[in-house]
């Protein structure tokens, strides 16, 4: 077999992998954002959980912040056809709980916002 043909196949495989990775990144970030999470970091984990025997999915390790502010680390399996699946999701950083006084002040601020919004609405 011609060595140039082999090199061509290798280059093609690398290009396909890079393009797939670009689509994966967008898909994973959109999935997290749609669920109310904020992506902090993402890295390719080719030997992550479930890699053995997998043909078309790619695996990433992600760090994200949930709606309550906790930081999670998880593995994500994704492909163009199968969607996004989180595995081994664990909380790595908790949010300090607010004191009763802080919580009370936050509720008062929120109540004032709602009352102001209600007062700005046109009356029928």
* Confidence band, pLDDT 50/70/90 cuts, at residue 91: very high
Residue 53 has pLDDT above 70, yes or no: no
Residue 20: is its pLDDT beyond 70?
no
Estimate to the nearest angstrom the gap between the alpha carbon of 73 and the chain centroid: 10
Per-residue pLDDT band at 108 (split at 50, 70, 90): very high
Indicate whether 28 pLDDT > 90.
no
Strand arrangement, sheet containing 83-93: 38-44, 58-65, 71-79, 83-93
Q: Which of 32, 64, 60 is nearest to 46 (CA)?
A: 60
Predicted TM-score of the model (pTM): 0.61
Q: d(Cα 74, Cα 44) in Å, to the nearest integer? A: 12
């Amino acid at each position: 077999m011609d060595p140039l043909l082999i090199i061509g196949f290798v280059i093609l495989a690398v290009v396909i992998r890079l393009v797939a990775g670009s689509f994966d990144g967008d898909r994973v970030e959109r999935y997290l954002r749609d669920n109310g999470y904020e992506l902090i970091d993402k890295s390719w984990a080719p030997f992550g959980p479930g890699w053995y025997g997998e043909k078309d999915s790619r695996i990433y390790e992600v760090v994200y912040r949930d709606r309550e502010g906790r930081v999670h680390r998880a593995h994500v399996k994704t492909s163009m056809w199968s969607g996004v699946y989180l595995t081994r999701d664990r909380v790595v950083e908790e949010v300090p709980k607010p004191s009763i006084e802080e919580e009370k002040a936050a509720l008062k601020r929120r109540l004032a916002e709602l009352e102001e919004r209600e007062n700005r609405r046109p009356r029928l």
